[in-house]
Amino acid sequence: MSNAKGDRRERELVNELDDAGFAVMRAPASGSATDRELPDVLAGNDGDFYAIEAKSSAGDPIYLTGEEVEALVYFAQNFGAKPRIGVRFDREAWYFFHPGDCYVTDGGNYRVKKETALADGIDFDELTGQSTRTQLDQYDA
């Protein structure tokens, strides 16, 4: 993914969170403008605070280094936010994962496949509290 496309996707996420009523900011040039590792997006609303590392892809699996995820979790804990990995595949919506719910490769990197995002990811409405997920096993037969 090019930096321009990644920047555009991050701005898109910021605008969607803003439209959903969140106070939100994008960390400019996160990771490169400072020695401190910063998440791509910080968002908060009514007691819910998120530190989000946002990634997008045309369709290939999305990978994050172990160091990226470690820095996200560290920052989120110190800031009092929930760490989330936000992924967006072309022609799909945003999906979110807690880092602990992502697949970890033998090399210590984190991977999210498109089919995993669509099947198991938290969608934007659920992240922002506009809907909740109900599993079939939550219904009495």
Catalytic machinery residues: 30
SS3 for 38-67 is: CCCEEEEECCEEEEEEEEEECCCCEEECHH
Residues 6+ apart with CB under 8 A from 29: none
Identify whether the C-beta of residue 62 lies closer than 8 Å to the C-beta of residue 111: yes
Alpha-carbon gap, residue 94 to 127, rounded angstroms: 10
Q: Is residue 115 a known part of a binding site?
A: no
Alpha-carbon gap, residue 6 to 32, rounded angstroms: 14
Q: Is residue 12 a known part of a binding site?
A: no
Q: Is residue 53 a known part of a binding site?
A: yes
**Residues in binding site:** 10, 40, 53
**Residues in binding site for Mg(2+):** 10, 40, 53
